[in-house]
Amino acid sequence: MIRSIPSPTISQLELGPFTFHLYALCIIAGIAIAIWLGDKRFRALAPDAKSVVSEVAITAVPAGIIGGRIYHVITSPDAYFGSGGHPLDAFKIWEGGLGIWGAISLGAVGAWLRYRQLAKRIELPNFAHFLDALAPGILFAQAIGRFGNWFNIELFGKPLNAPWALEVPVLYRPAGYSTFETFHPTFLYESIWCAILAFVLIRLSHRLAPGQSFSLYVMVYSIGRLGIESIRIDSAHTIAGLRLNIWVSLLVAIAAAVTFRRQSRKPH
């Protein structure tokens, strides 16, 4: 009987001269699912909009990765520019560290710019419909991508003694926690939260006004992230005793809730 979740013994695969980092493979798999599902949902709305999602992804995906990395580096500067840090490590995305808020923000900007270009050539629904179509797929991508943190044995929570606790080798335990063996698998909590929310959005999308699916995604995900951040123990900047990401999640949730409310008042 498995009494806890084991940590992986490998984080990369060696195939001849090539090295494949499992963190990166999780991210890539998530992106592929997001594009496939987003394309399926968007073409149900605009049947003639063939390959629009994949074309937008060419711009949005790199922008999202860059934005996610920038956010991570800005909010965790000591790891790269502090004592003992190495600035060039900021480019080693495969080692982990993509901030979701930066990824969503810059990725959305990249998507909007490319979508606007395509709309000049072909007739497309407004951008709010496009974001709604993508929202569930983005959530599934996040759910899959979080397993990259499992392979890297990172971003786990406080000590936990339960069947679903994550075993963490001594090498990966933060200072002050070396005597504890099992911890909250926050990567799994977030993955499950994202997957549940994705199914809910798919079920409710036809009842919502344009843009509300995406706003609901941002709002509810942020609420879940508040709880997850509260039990994480990896180093992070704090403001008034709370982790920076808790403040960001709170502000984003409020902004998304206000946006959701305003969108409900607009004509469909």
Question: Could you give the CA distance from residue 64 to residue 141 in angstroms, rounded to a whole number?
Answer: 12
What pLDDT is stored for residue 235 in this prediction? 76
Question: Could you give the CA distance from residue 268 to residue 258 in angstroms, rounded to a whole number?
Answer: 18
How do residues 142-155 score in pLDDT, each as one tens digit?
Answer: 999 999 999 999 98
Q: What are phi and psi of 237, to 5 degrees?
A: -70, 145
Rg of the chain's alpha carbons, rounded to an integer? 19
Residues in the chain, total = 268
Q: How confident is the model at residue 188 (pLDDT cuts 50, 70, 90)?
A: very high
Pairing relation of β-strands 242-243 and 238-239? Answer: antiparallel
Residue 166: its H or E element: strand 166-167
Amino acid (1-letter code) at residue 114: R
What would the mean pLDDT of 227-240 be, rounded to a whole number?
Answer: 87
Q: Which residue has tokens 């711009």?
A: 59
